[in-house]
Chain A
Amino acid sequence: NAGVTQTPKFQVLKTGQSMTLQCAQDMNHEYMSWYRQDPGMGLRLIHYSVGAGITDQGEVPNGYNVSRSTTEDFPLRLLSAAPSQTSVYFCASSPPGREDTQYFGPGTRLTVL
């Protein structure tokens, strides 16, 4: 198993540009989520999904969209990037009934100029 993979590892955008951060897992996990981590801070939940076709908002959802058309993939879309979205983005997954086991991807470092 590759675990949780994220692409790209690094990205630089200009204000107003759009892009999609990719997240995939090959462990057949139902739960997937996106977090952002700002310097010196803990992670904040952006969006999460409890299964294909189901998504919900976390603590800081504004400016981000998600969809979950398959169990494996959970992309995060920035529709119009802003400097305030400069951060490190982590995707995580866990199997149903095993909330104690969260697997995190390696992260995507995004800079918005």
Chain B
Amino acid sequence: GIQVEQSPPDLILQEGANSTLRCNFSDSVNNLQWFHQNPWGQLINLFYIPSGTKQNGRLSATTVATERYSLLYISSSQTTDSGVYFCAVERNYGQNFVFGPGTRLSVLP
């Protein structure tokens, strides 16, 4: 099956700093999503981005499908950005997602 790696595993930032999270996947995919799990455990869908670039406020994401990686950019980080960020991919549509191990982000005031 598809393997998903994320880096770094842990990241500590001062409020206001920028960061880049990376997701590598081992095979071509039709579906790639980024999720944020807040400190209370709730999972929120951030981006659906099997290819190209998208932006939503201070967050943006880029997927280079031919090179099998995706990047999540967080600018001007806030303490509310803390939590775990997951990348999830799917080979074919059908909701058979494979999640990466996540990047745990801590933003300090």
Instruction: Give residues in A with beta carbon < 8 Å to B.
Output: 31, 33, 35, 40-45, 48, 50, 56, 58-59, 88, 90, 92, 94, 99-104, 106-107
Is the C-beta of B100 less than 8 angstroms from some C-beta in chain A? yes
**Considering only CB atoms, which chain B residue lies closest to A50 in the complex?**
B94
Q: What range describes how many residues of B lie at the interface?
A: 20 to 34
Which residue from chain B places its CB closest to the CB of A57 in the assembled complex? B96
Find B95's partner among A44, A48, A88, A104 (CB 8 Å cutoff): A48
- Over the window 20-53 of chain B, the binary record of Cβ atoms lying under 8 Å from chain A Cβ atoms (1 yes, 0 no) is 0000000000010101000001111100100000
A104 lies within 8 A of B48 (CB): no
Q: Please indicate which of the listed interface residues A41, A101, A104 has the most CB atoms of chain B within 10 Å of its own CB.
A: A104
State whether the Cβ of B86 lies closer than 8 Å to any Cβ in chain A.
yes
- For window 66-109 of B, CB contacts with A under 8 Å fall at 86, 88, 90, 93-102
Bound-state CA distance A106–B4 (Å) is 24
With contact pairs A42-B100, A107-B41 given, residues A50 and B95 touching in the complex (Cβ less than 8 Å): yes
Are B101 and A41 closer than 8 Å at their CB atoms?
yes
Q: Give chain B residues whose Cβ lies under 8 Å from the Cβ of A99.
A: 31, 48, 90, 93, 95
